[in-house]
Amino acid sequence: MILFPKKYLKEITNAAEDSDKIILATDPDREGEAIAWHVKEVLEKKKLLKDKNLERVVFNEITKKAILDAIKNPRQIHLPLVEAYLARRALDYLVGFNISPILWTKLPGSKSAGRVQSVALKLITEREKEIELFKPDEYWTLTSDFTNKNNKNIFSKLSLFNGKKIEKFSFKNKEEIQKAVDVINKTKFKISDVNTKVFRRNPLAPFTTSTLQQTASGRFGFGASRTMQIAQRLYQGVDIEGETTGLITYMRTDGTNISKEAIDNFRKFITDDYGDKYLPDAPNNYTGKKAKNAQEAHEAIRPTNITRKPSDIKKYVNSDQFKLYELIWSRALSSQMTPAEFDRNTIIISSNDNKINFRASGSVVKFDGFLKVYQVQETDEDAKNILPEVKVGEEISILKLNDEQHFTDPPPRYSEASLVKKMEELGIGRPSTYASIISVLSTRNYVELINKRFNPTDRGKLISAFLEKLFSKYVDYNFTADLENQLDEITSGKIEWVQVLDNFWKDFYENVGKVKEKRTREVLDLLNESLGALIFERDDKDAIDRKCKLCASGELSLKNSFRGGAFIGCSNYPECKFTRPLSKAKAAAQYNLAEPKLLGQNEKGKDIFLKNGRFGPYLQFEKETDELETKKKKGRKKKNENDHLKNVSIPKGIDVDSVDLDKAKYLCSLPKVLGQHPDNGQDIILNSGRFGPYLKCENKSARLENVEDLFSIGINRAITLIAEAKPGRISSSLIKDLGEHPEDKKPVRIMKGQYGPYIKYKSLNATIPEEKDPNDLTMEEALILIEKRKEYDKTKKKGKRK
Amino acid sequence: MNLVIVESPAKAKTINKYLGKDYLVLASYGHIRDLPSKNGSVDPENKFQMEWEIDSFSKKIFKRNYKCC
């Protein structure tokens, strides 16, 4: 067997032979330490390290000074770090390798269960359960517009009624609020208090991996992997006037501190560019998560040179890189600036007996402080409420009372950003793993991103319930967090790695054995019970009702098919052939649409029907006769009885119940010309495709992130989206564009093909191994695969000649 | 001569420029070894000894390419 990496390894071993000193300068974290250790082990096995100096150096940024400093301060490989890596690899291997085969036999169609991914999946499915079981509560709020003698208006909220402080559920229904309104309308009011307080808003800590991912997602809609790729590029360096320059420090970190030297530079920059008012007396300290040992105490993500303003580098980087650099630059700089100061004005309006109070507040910026460079999203709704000058004792009358009905909302589904945040709070996953955990869940089809929110698939729900029932300890949040802590403790030498594995393995092995003995029937019964209300109806007494509605004697249960995955079927099979999908919502849609629903007529007077098909709901209407004739002339297709009908599928993510005649007409009118692009006069076309709605203009196209935008998008927003899109032939099968090949600047792309994902570079196609997530693939890895493919093609040719 | 190992070719190029002619900076192209996904790569009976394989990642590709050709 020929080994492809031989070429690179050979290069390293040859060079090692001729060297006096070997310096391992991989990334400054556990992974980097592990690669250094692997290299050392391989060289040792080849007996190349005799009488040679082997050193490990680390640097946090790729700048000349940092590199030269690092070379002057070498150390040895820090074994505890390597051991923590070994323990993690072994844990992941043991869990995956033991649980996956059980999944394959008991739940056909499942792929595998990663140790930490399963816990993330549990977060997503638990949230889904909360949403499905959520019952909204009604409540009412009361606000009032007051006016004084000078006709100045004050907008205020009821804060006290009958001497009781107003809380969220103070008024639960229309009657309760109406009583209050009646009383208040009969009451006279005066100003009882006016006060102003100064409040400060402190700057936020500089970015860690997770806060960077969250903020980039919120501001630019970048996914976690995309953010990390852009950050990696900024760290490794971009070409600035012929010099490759590292623009930011290492991007995988959970530290929030900044080196003393950098702080000094920041402070000088603040004084010079913004003035002393913006400089705090002493540097701001951020005590983030404490690293367990010095080797893992990383700096926050910051620019390598604060005087390199975003505007200075704009012409050397692409727009994504610019956005991220500007974000990192301003967040880091602002973290060392003074707080912003606001005047918060409050007016209290009271009844004579002081039993009813209204409260108005508003704030005015007194000094912008750090907000000068870093904008914070305003969550305070009073912020823009400007209050008039009024005097205590002044009489004031009601202009308008506004009672408003509200309902509590179910908790929102996780977005990438909120999932990372949650994992960090629970202590699950680490900066180096957040992005990959997320992408593994999607590639295995355990979750679906709809409108940027995670929805578990049926398969995901099933696996999650399976693990919860049969491996509950190993998907427990505390257990997983504790294991991560133990890994951290290995790095500080507090525990032995073999000890950690031993403790884990004993119980886990026993658990695996027990589950293996269970019959599939038993497993499905457990799942019936644990999924309960999620997949079965409830009867009048709110108890789970599993009686089959079709034969009335059988019991419904989860069933599994090798091809279609899980579904609900009847215990009287094959006599009773009742089946339905797992999710109740889908099943309901199926019932509702069991008969085609007539929505109305289109402009031409043809009926539009909403129907349900194998591939989901769709619209159907009769084609125009002239359309039919042109088709016939071509005569390519066999005549089909449905030829006169046109089907239009409903894009995923759109609530089928919300599709009325207007929306249906709109969907049937696609593709639709929104207007012409002002630059080139070309049509901007809106259409819906396999991957959802998108815009197309000449050679550019842009996807609409939110499916509902399909109905509301106008020409202005379309032009913006087109402007942000990259030119090029959009192929429906493009997964990711990696950028240019370093040698000839030709594009390297990851494509989705018939036989799975592959890398496309010029005329060469290189397969991506199954276990690798194509979304995670970096340029480096792609280059290796390309080289390997080239080499393979060569050997194949040689073989043929012989 | 001093040999410096980093993980990526892009990083190697930049660092070599900073360090000058006395140094040769080469890329390891990521992890050079991996745990093959087959039975016995980790041995719980034997102090969790791990059997590493030189980049099993690429071997797979090789196999797959053979199969489909």
Instruction: Give the helix ranges, DSSP H, for chain B.
Output: 9-19, 56-68
Q: How close B49 gets to chain A, by Cα (Å)?
A: 9
Give A232→chain B minimum CA distance, Å: 11
Contacts of A187 (CB under 8 A, 6+ apart): A351, A356
Model confidence at A468, pLDDT cuts 50, 70, 90, reads: very high
- For A733, counting Cβ atoms within 10 Å of its Cβ (0-12 exposed, 13-18 middle, 19+ buried), the class is middle
d(CA A797, nearest CA chain B) in Å: 12
A5 contacts B52? CB cut-off 8 A: no
Q: How far is CA A436 from the centre of its chain?
A: 11
Structure tokens at A742: 């370093």
Q: Is the pLDDT of residue A628 over 60?
A: no
With beta carbons under 8 A apart, name residues in chain B contacting A785. Answer: 58, 61
Region A417-422: what's the mean pLDDT?
Answer: 92
Q: Predicted confidence band at A799 (pLDDT cuts at 50, 70, 90)? A: low
Scored b (16 or more CB within 10 A) or e, A156-195 reads bbbbbbeeeebeeebbeeeeebeebbeebeeeebbbbebe
* Per-window interface: B 44-63 vs A, CB < 8 A: 44, 47-48, 50, 52, 54-55, 57-62
Of A297 and A438, the structure prediction assigns the larger pLDDT to A438
Cβ distance B14 to A19 less than 8 Å, yes or no, reads: no
pTM above 0.90, yes or no: no
**Structure tokens of A745?**
């600047």
Which range, of A373-377, A779-783, B18-22, averages the lowest pLDDT?
A779-783
Contact A189, A161 (CB under 8 A): no
Question: Six-digit token pair at A582?
Answer: 């797992």
What is the reported pLDDT for B60?
A: 40
Contacts of A767 in chain B (CB under 8 A): 61, 64-65, 68
Query: Could B59 and A19 be called an inter-chain contact, meaning their C-beta atoms sit closer than 8 Å?
Result: no
Q: Which residue has the higher pLDDT, A752 or A460?
A: A460
Confidence of residue A665 (pLDDT cuts 50, 70, 90): confident
pLDDT tens digits for range A282-296: 999 987 666 666 667
Token pair listed for A41:
């082990």
Decide if B37 and A97 are in contact by the 8 Å CB cutoff.
yes
Per-residue CA distances from A51 to A23, A48, A120, A212, A343 (Å): 14, 9, 48, 45, 70
Residue-wise pLDDT tens digits, A97-123: 899 888 888 877 677 778 999 999 999
Chain B residue numbers with beta carbons less than 8 Å from the beta carbon of A35 are 7, 28, 30-32
- What pLDDT is stored for residue A123 in this prediction? 97
Tell me the pLDDT band of B67, cut-offs 50, 70 and 90.
Answer: very low
Say yes or no for a CB contact (<8 Å) between A4 and B62: yes
Catalytic residue among A250, A474, A618, A761: A250
Q: What was the pLDDT predicted at A41?
A: 93
- pLDDT of A150: 86
Lowest mean pLDDT among A102-116, A621-635, A736-750: A621-635
- CA nearest B58 in A: which residue? A4
pLDDT at A775 exceeding the cut of 80: no
| Cβ–Cβ below 8 Å for B33 and A36 | no
pLDDT in tens, A23-66: 999 999 988 999 999 999 999 998 888 888 999 999 999 999 99
**Is pLDDT at A627 greater than 90 in this prediction?**
no
Rounded Cα distance between A648 and A669, Å, is 10
Residues in chain A: 802
In A492-573, which residue ranges form alpha helices assigned H by DSSP? 497-517, 520-531
Q: Is the pLDDT of residue B65 over 60?
A: no
Q: How far is the alpha carbon of B51 from chain A, nearest alpha carbon, in Å?
A: 11
Q: Do B60 and A789 touch (CB under 8 A)?
A: no
Which residue in this structure is represented by tokens 């309006």? Answer: A349
- Least CA distance to A784: which residue of chain B? B29
Q: Which chain A residues touch B2 with a CB distance below 8 Å?
A: 19-23
Residue A316 designated active-site? no
pLDDT band (50, 70, 90) for residue A154? very high
